[in-house]
Each structure stands twice: as structure tokens, then as C-alpha cells.
Structure 1
């Protein structure tokens, strides 16, 4: 072989088969936050999960997921099934290229919301496949900064929980080793919000990190008053005090108060997060990887947040965000929700206020028999080799 002759390489692997599953996870009891108490939504009783399993002609496999709450599950599944054929025969390593192709395959329905949430399941599965093939955890594949992340509990602090049980739940979470506690606020009676938060602060003391979340239900004057009331409590953040798209309102709160403002979980594209960052509308950015379209757009958002000097607190889906949080330059907070645990055979480990990053290849997850049992609809694209 002469110096000008390029070396030969084996033929690239290609995607041969995809299975999509629409799985509905029932919740133990109806869940209420401020959106329910203000009459804008009904209590949540289940979570619609979209799973994508991808297999290549060489036998490599990846698992990814997206989700929706209260509405959108059938739509996500239908859109995913419609665009999935784009992936058959493609090189699974070309993840960014494939994200763009999937996006354009469904461009007539937009580049945010349900359209990209369906893409998210494929994107996560492709990253899982790539990491598994390399024998690395997802965080190691992406370039991990740490082996554990700070975590806080949300599931014990919803508004349907009586104040006496709220205090018990918070103490139990701390005893279990979870690092912080988040409480839901935003009720029509603000005085009740104050009593609930103060009761938990008294029980836990000043050393336990405490956050609150109004789920977008305050208007600007109410948000000003409530942020001022909660300022002395030393909260880690006040989350979604205003409508998710009120960038200027959030920016005004962030500039006025010492308590950090956190928002971003309801945004469903990189462009929307970019506007949030441009307005300096948050101290903590809270992107949700499945909601923004997967790991590919999440990493772009995180890079913008890092450049702006923002904290990171990914929303929900701890099984994925524990890996993505481990990659962020500064110490993040990852939300501890145990709701999705029945769907997987593996469990995350909590120790001394931190969530340990799994060392198993990829996400380190496999679907449980229960997830199969809760599946209402599935589709296969391509052919298994």
C-alpha cells in the first residue's frame, strides 16, 4: 500500500430493526399540583411512555424513551411510527445527522413539542447503543465530570398531600439519603403555601436544601409578593413562578431577589431555551431531555447554559438525567422521582445526599416485564437479523 492509498475499513454497521412501544404507567394515587388547584388541569393518574428499541445488523442494541403527562401519548407513538423508517439502513453512529433527518421527516408539524418528543426516544436509544458498543456508561461516553450528583425529592411534596404528611415525607426522604426537598406551591390561598413551606423548614432545619415550585401559576404581582415572603427561608430556588414563556417576567424576578429563579422544564426546543438564556430569565436552567428531543439538543442547551454561567437542574427522568448531570461543568441538581422505577429492572443508588451515576454500559437500563405488561400498542419497523 502506498502512502497515497487510504486504509480500508470494514463496512459500517447499519440499523436493521426498531420496536416502538406505547406503555402507560399507572400512578399509585392521583397527583395534583398548582395547575390542578387553579382548574387548568385534572389530576394526573398515569404517564404515557414511548420506548424505542433499536438493533443493528451486527447485533448492537439500544434503548431509549420519551414520555408525556395527561395528554399526547397516542400522538407521540403515531408520529414516531411515521418517521421511524428514516432510520432503517442508516449508520447508528451518525446521531446528529439522524436527528436532523428525523426532524425534517416531520417538519410539517413543527420543530418543537410532540414532534421532537417523539424523536427523543430514538435519539436516546442511539446514544445508549453507542455507549453500550463502546463498553462505557453514557456519562463516560459523553465525558463525565463526576461519579455522583446532588439529588432532591419532589414526589413527596405535591399539593394533594396534607401538611402533616408533607412533613413526614420530607423527613423520610432525608433519612433515605436524598439531598434536598422540593415542595409544590401556587395554590389560590397563598397563606397555605407559606404555612406548608415553613412547617417543613422547621422540621428539617436550615441545613437541608429546600426548593419550591409554583408550576407557572402566579401572575407577576403575586410572584413578586411570594418571592419576597420566601426570601428569608434560604431556598435553593423558586421554580416556575410565572408562565414558562414569560421570559421578561422571570428575568425581573431573577434580577430582584437573592433567591435563585429556576425554570425551563416546559420548554420543548433548543430555540426556546436559548431565548430564556438570552433574557437572563433563570439562575437554574431545567431542560428535560425527552421533552426537547433527546440528548442531542440537550447537550446544545447545556453548552449555552454553561457559557452563561447558569446552574443546571434537569427535570424528571432521573434514569437519564443522572448521566447528563454528571457531564455538566458545575455541580447540578438532579430530580429524584421514583415513579418510573417499575419500568426497569435496575435501580439507582442514593448515598449521602447524592445519586450515584451507574457504571453499566449505556444508560444501564433494561425494560421490565411489568413495562411489557403495561404496553398498549407496539410496532416493528425493519427486520431483525
Structure 2
């Protein structure tokens, strides 16, 4: 018997960081330090009493816009069968067609899309990874949150050691400073400290093509798992060229906001690691669409941020990805993800496996329910 969406509760949440952090975009003067994450949560209830929860997020700007956009278009989902996720997705895209099919428009819809996938898996009494068809019960995990540029080398070493002792398998630090020699000094110090531990670096788009080629050549000596975002995120041709030139894999894609933007990498001959972000690409539905195409192209996967969502999607990718560990969103959920032996383990709870915490309610700045209460 077909069900129908009865109501949607949207929540605008502002989560402050304990300590402001800076990547290379701050040191090059392009952005201010990051002090908070703004999230859009969606809770879905159906006529038959089924429920689902999803979220999207923004950093520095865009959070209020996401909330406003979904509040404006969400009504078209009321009364639709929650199992028809792609059809609902398309109806929301048409409802907001005048603002396009990427960026804020799709990031807003992403929160509802994730909630519908969570609902579908909960109704099936399966973890989302199992509903999608998991290849594995755990994925390799690396930590980024301890490697930002406002921290000294000694601080990063301490945080890296703590992460490894907690069961995390790899460490990523930020690079891309105006003084490239300082980047190399920090990388050398961390490589010495980590030994043969898997190690990644992230330039956050701060090099031009000439500097990127020089830095990639210098970084070859450190046996890195990857060099992330050496160029502007939309420079598909430049990233493709680097991926074919150097032995160290190139990683990019976290900033891209649609399947076509990601496919520009494939079309340019990219041979690196793709890093789609489900909330940024528009939800689980477009993430899965691109993941199929990326797998067909033989690309490795390392989804960005939002481990609460991406662990499930990574577990369903044919080749084992790395999943990024950020503890920042922990206060918003009652449950914690199990991490041990260098792996992040898929929860055995239905859906995403998370329930919203009282702290999330306290951090909610605005909320609205659309449809029957």
C-alpha cells in the first residue's frame, strides 16, 4: 500500500566550533577563520507513521539561504509517496527552477533527499549501506580536524598521535600557505613523526598551475596518499593534467555542486581521486548517480566531510574509499560511529543510524513544519 509524506519539519541550526580554524584560504586573505557550521535539518513524517532525518550544511555563508529556499519549495513534496525519491527530487528542482540546479538550490534539497533515503532504509529495517548494497562493513578512515594551519607543528603532532591512538588510520594536514617553504617544512616534520602512517595534504585551491606543478614535484618525496585541491576546484583540465603527470594521486571534487560539474573532471581525462560531498552535490540521489559514473571510469572515491552520511555511501562503492573523520557534528546526534583498527564501521542501526540530540534542539535558531502537524 502506498504511503504519503504528511509533514516536513525544517530546522536552521548554528553549531559553533570550540576553536576557530584556518586553512590556506585564510592565510592568503580570501576568507576569514571558520567559527561555525550552519546546518539545515529535515525531519519527514508519513501518513503511515514512518520517519526519516537528513541534513545539509554550509560554512561561512549560505546557511540561511538553504533554509529559506527549502522552506519555499518543500510543499510540493507533501502528499507524494516517500519511496519515489527521484521523482520527488525532480519536482523540487522544477519548483525552484528559476535559481538553477546547483549551489544553494540543490544543497537545500539535499537535506530532504537524505531524509527520504534515511526513511526508506528505516522502513526496510536496514542500515542505509545495506539498502544500497554494501561491499563492506567498514571503510578506511583518516582525520582532518587536527591539521589546520592555525595550529603549530607540535600541536598537529599531538593531535595526530591522539587520532591514531583512537583507532584512526590516516592523517591529513593543510598546506597552501603564501610561503611554500613553510608548507614543505611542516609536511617533512609530520612525515617524520608519522613514520609509514598514511598521510595526505590539502591545499584548498590556493595554487595556480605553475605553483601546483612545482609543489606536486616537491611533495612526491613524502609518499603521500594524495594531494588535495592543488588548483581552483573548477579547473578540471588542470587537475586532470596533474593527475596524469605525477605518481602521487590528486584528489578534488568537494566544492562541486552538481553531477555535471563532477563529470567535467571525467571528460577532461582525470585519473585521480574524486571527493563528492552528498550535501553539496545535492543529496544522496545525485551522489549515487555520479558514483556509478566514477566507478565506470575507474576512479577512486574519498567523500568529503559529513561522515554520518558518507560512511554508508562509501561502503556501497565497488573499491574501498577513505572516509573523512570530523568530530565537529558529534553534539548534534545521540550516537557515535565506531572507529577501530584504522577503520570506520557502518552502524547496524536502521537508516543512517542517528537520532537528533537535545543539544541540536538548543542550537536551532528557527524551525517550521510544512504539512499536517
Please report the TM-score for the alignment, with normalisation by the length of structure 2: 0.99
1-side partners of 2:112 and 2:220: how far apart? 42
Whether 1:123 and 2:113 are equivalent positions in the alignment is yes
Structure 1 residue aligned with 2:229, among 240, 244, 252?
A: 240
The aligned residue for residue 198 of structure 1 is 188
Superposition pairs for residues 161-172 of structure 1, below 5 Å? Answer: 161-172=151-162
Q: How many residues of Structure 1 are paired with residues of Structure 2 in the alignment?
A: 373
The aligned residue for residue 6 of structure 1 is none
The CA deviation at 1:78 is 0.3
The CA deviation at 1:282 is 4.6
Whether 1:113 and 2:103 are equivalent positions in the alignment is yes
SS across alignment from 1:248: helix
SS across alignment from 1:171: helix
Whether 1:98 and 2:77 are equivalent positions in the alignment is no
CA gap of 1:233–1:280, structure 2 versus 1, over 3 A, is same
2-side partners of 1:265 and 1:100: how far apart? 23
The aligned residue for residue 351 of structure 2 is 362
Task: Give every structure 1 segment of 4 or more consecutive aligned residues whose post-TM-superposition deviation is greater than 6 Å.
Answer: none
Q: Which structure 1 segments of 5+ residues have no match?
A: 1-9
The answer to whether the Cα contact below 8 Å between 2:240 and 2:272 also exists between their aligned partners in 1 is: no
Whether 1:153 and 2:162 are equivalent positions in the alignment is no
SS across alignment from 1:242: coil
The answer to whether the Cα contact below 8 Å between 1:262 and 1:282 also exists between their aligned partners in 2 is: no
The CA deviation at 1:280 is 2.4
The answer to whether the Cα contact below 8 Å between 2:14 and 2:363 also exists between their aligned partners in 1 is: yes
Structure 2 residue aligned with 1:346, among 335, 341, 344?
A: 335
The answer to whether the Cα contact below 8 Å between 1:137 and 1:361 also exists between their aligned partners in 2 is: yes
SS across alignment from 1:186: coil
Superposition pairs for residues 1-385 of structure 1, below 5 Å? Answer: 10=1, 12-205=2-195, 207-384=196-373
The CA deviation at 1:281 is 2.8
CA RMSD for the aligned pairs?
Answer: 0.7
SS across alignment from 2:48: coil
2-side partners of 1:166 and 1:198: how far apart? 13
Q: Which structure 2 segments of 5+ residues have no match?
A: none
The answer to whether the Cα contact below 8 Å between 2:57 and 2:63 also exists between their aligned partners in 1 is: yes
The answer to whether the Cα contact below 8 Å between 2:89 and 2:113 also exists between their aligned partners in 1 is: yes
The CA deviation at 1:353 is 0.2
CA gap of 1:282–1:215, structure 2 versus 1, over 3 A, is farther
The answer to whether the Cα contact below 8 Å between 2:225 and 2:248 also exists between their aligned partners in 1 is: yes
Please report the TM-score for the alignment, with normalisation by the length of structure 1: 0.96
The aligned residue for residue 3 of structure 1 is none
1-side partners of 2:241 and 2:267: how far apart? 13
The CA deviation at 1:174 is 1.1
The answer to whether the Cα contact below 8 Å between 1:263 and 1:282 also exists between their aligned partners in 2 is: no
1-side partners of 2:226 and 2:271: how far apart? 10
Cα displacement string for residues 260-293 of structure 1 (whole angstroms, at most 9, x for unaligned residues): 0000000000000011111123510000000011
SS across alignment from 1:212: strand
The answer to whether the Cα contact below 8 Å between 1:323 and 1:357 also exists between their aligned partners in 2 is: yes
